[in-house]
Amino acid sequence: MSGFPTLFAKEVLRFWKVIFQTVAAPVLTALLYLVVFVQALEGRGPAPGGGAWGEFLVPGLAMMSVLQNAFANSSSSLIQSKITGNLVFVLLAPISHLEFYAAYVAAAVVRGLVVGAGVLAATAPFVELRPVAPLWSLAFALLGAATLGALGLVAGVLADKFDQLAAFQNFVVLPLTFLAGVFYSVEALPVVWRAASHFNPFFYLVDGFRYGFLGVSDVAPLASLAVAAVSFAAITAATLALLKSGYKLRG
C-alpha cells in the first residue's frame, strides 16, 4: 500500500491539533476586515453588482482566506520539517514525489476550505448570502486552494529559513491576494491598473468564486476557470519537476 494516506492524514492532523491558530485566527481576521471595510464603504453607494457591500466583501474575504491558508499550510509545514530535520522520516519512506506532492497539496486544500467555510459561517449572522451557483464557487475554491498549496510547497522547498518564507508570503502572496479585487471591483480601477489586474492569476480565482455567490463577475466565469486551470497545471508541473529533482530535499 501507498504511504500517501498517512502523509495526507498527518498533514491534516498537524493543523487540526492547533486549530485555534490555523483556523480560528484567520476567520477572526476576515471578520475584522469585514467590519472595518463595511464601515468605511457603506456610505459610498451600492457595491459592484448593485448589492450591499457586505454581500460583495464576504465572498472575496472567504476566497482570500482560502488562498492564504492553503499556502500557509504546505509552506510552513514543509519548512518546519526541513529545519527541525524530521522531514527525514518521510524521505526515508518509499513515497514517490507524486505522492508527496498530492499529500501536501490535498492537506492544504482541506485547510483552505475549512478556513473558507469558517469565514462564511462566521459572517453569516451579519451578511445574508444566497449563492446562486455554489458549484462554481466550489470549483474555484478547490482550484485556488490547490494552486496555492502547490505554490506553498515550492516556497517551502526553496526557502532555507523562516524569514525567507515570510518574505515570500508578505511580498508575493499577500499583495497578489489583496490586489485580486477582494475589496473592490477591478472595473472601478483606472485603465492601467485594471489591465495589470488581469495579469494577476489570483484575480480570476476571486472573481470566479464571487460569481458563484452573486451571479455577477468582472470576467466570464468560464474564462476565469480556464485561467485558473492553466495556472494550476503550470504550477503543478513546476512543483513536480522540483520535487523529482530532489533539489534542497535530497542533498
Could you list the residues that contact another protein (CB under 8 A)? 1-3, 5-7, 9-10, 13-14, 17, 81, 84-86, 88-96, 246, 250-251
Q: By C-alpha distance, which of 165, 79, 65, 74 is closest to 116?
A: 65
Q: How far is CA 26 from CA 47, 72, 141, 163, 177, in A?
A: 24, 11, 16, 20, 14
Give 39 or 96: the residue with its C-beta nearer to another protein.
Answer: 96
**What is the Cα–Cα distance from 66 to 70, expressed in whole angstroms?**
6
Give 90 or 153: the residue with its C-beta nearer to another protein.
Answer: 90
Q: What's the min distance (Å) between Cβ of 3 and another protein? A: 4
Give 49 or 152: the residue with its C-beta nearer to another protein.
Answer: 152
Q: What's the min distance (Å) between Cβ of 44 and another protein? A: 46
Give 44 or 250: the residue with its C-beta nearer to another protein.
Answer: 250
Q: What's the min distance (Å) between Cβ of 250 and another protein? A: 6
**What is the Cα–Cα distance from 251 to 235, expressed in whole angstroms?**
23
Give 75 or 197: the residue with its C-beta nearer to another protein.
Answer: 75
Q: How far is CA 35 from CA 23, 41, 53, 83, 133, in A?
A: 19, 10, 11, 38, 26
Q: What's the min distance (Å) between Cβ of 9 and another protein? A: 7
Q: Is 137 left (phi over 0), alpha (psi -120 to 50) or beta?
A: alpha
CA angle 159, 161, 163 (to 5 degrees): 100
Contact 147, 231 (CB under 8 A): yes
Q: What's the min distance (Å) between Cβ of 115 and another protein? A: 19
